[in-house]
Amino acid sequence: MPNQKHEIHLSPTERKKLLAIVSKGRNKAVVIQRAHILLKADEGKTDTEIKDMLYVSEQTIRRTRLRYVQEGLQVALEDQPHAPQTTTALDEKQEAYLIALACSTPPEGYARGTLELLAQRLTTDGIVSSISPETVRLALKKQTEALAGQELVLAPDYVEISSADGTHSALVSTTLHPPASAGVF
């Protein structure tokens, strides 16, 4: 039984365009797949029959039908634009402030700084409008990975920071010195 709610009726022009898409094979695989779905739906095939023929999920078929009925052929064939990725990375000044903050003595009442405390301090100091503890962890991890490739001497003074639940931690030195043989910057 065909899907009555989103029944597909292609015009001869649309059908010709879809046949050209599937026969030439010069489009993205997903566009060709959607063209096949629309052609089979126009032939009166059910979602289950199309699923078995094309090895796609019924949800993909329903989405393609719905997009065709609501927005037209071109939109049904193309990918929907994805939400823009927000930039979570800190700039150099913000990273420097974070590292200095991580290397400073922990707040009173705390044995060591946590990622949550660092994130909170960055927002209260007005360095960033908002930041997650995970972003703090990644920024500190990036810094320690960058330093890992260099030959550095770790002074005995260091700060260990960790998340409140103790699952993530990082050892950050308060002073890093290049080896004596490296010369002066």
DSSP H/E element including 153? strand 153-154
Q: Any idea what DSSP says for residue 176?
A: E
| Domain membership flag for residue 85 | no
Select from 77, 105, 133 the last residue of a domain. 77
**Residue 28, domain extent:** 12-77
> Which of helix, strand or coil describes residue 105?
coil
Structure confidence at residue 185 (pLDDT): 34
Query: Span 153-178, mean pLDDT?
Result: 56
The 10s digit of each residue's pLDDT in 5-23 is: 788 999 999 999 999 999 9
Structure confidence at residue 157 (pLDDT): 58
Between CA 23 and CA 151 the distance in angstroms is: 59
| Domain membership flag for residue 27 | yes
Q: Is 169 exposed, middle or buried (0-12, 13-18, 19+ CB in 10 A)?
A: middle
Give the count of domains, the chain.
2
| Domain membership flag for residue 83 | no
Between CA 77 and CA 10 the distance in angstroms is: 13
**C-alpha angle with apex 162: 156 to 167, nearest 5 degrees?**
130
pLDDT band at 147 (very low <50, low <70, confident <90, very high): low
| Domain membership flag for residue 86 | no
In the block, which residue shows the tokens 């930041």? 131
| Domain membership flag for residue 1 | no
**50/102 same-domain check:** no
**97/63 same-domain check:** no
Mean predicted lDDT score pLDDT of the chain: 80
In the block, which residue shows the tokens 């063209």? 35
Structure confidence at residue 170 (pLDDT): 63
**73/105 same-domain check:** no
